[in-house]
Amino acid sequence: MLAATAFATAAVPVLGAGVASATTAGACESATVQYRIVGADGNVVGADWTSQGGFHLWDTVPGSVQVRLAPGQTVGEGCKYPVSLAEYTTEGPNWYVSGHQSLVDKATVYLSADDVAGTDDAKRTWQKLTVKTPDCYGQIDLYGDDISYDGKTGEGTAPCPTSPTTSSPPTTS
């Protein structure tokens, strides 16, 4: 499952992981997702493609996040893997004092067999996720499902992240 977290002040921590589950039942299995942060200038920020989980600190808020399926995977016909990027306002500059959070913006793409990395990808265009940047304190999450962690009830929604008692979206390390 993917999860990335960022708090926007002067530095941006990112928490990421790399597995997404397919939205179609049957022959679809979990797949490894890779991502990279792209700055507002269009250049890759920090490391290139990664599926590494854990907490990461970035010097800038990402302009966008590009996503793809890692090389060497076989994706069944009709299998789609949701990957979402969500931005929340927070009450503080880091997870431990972020307090109540509110969803501001969310983008979701669905990766398929067309999105598996190959050996010559220099001219390929990858799917891109972009959300509004936080006005002050904020958190940006990258995760492997299409649920809106917006605090509402009903299908396709779930509780907002709240420090330090919950981890929504679910994270892995």
Cα-Cα-Cα-Cα dihedral sign, residues 58, 48, 1, 81: positive
CA distance 25 to 119: 29
Nearest to 109 by CA among 82, 89, 79, 133: 82
**Positions of the chain with pLDDT lower than 50, given as ranges:** 1-17, 172-173
pLDDT of residue 67: 95
Query: Cβ of 24: how many Cβ atoms within 10 Å?
Result: 14
pLDDT at 170: 54
User: What pLDDT score was predicted for residue 98?
Assistant: 82
pLDDT given at position 138: 83
Q: What is the pLDDT of residue 161?
A: 77
Predicted pLDDT at 113: 92
pLDDT of residue 24: 53
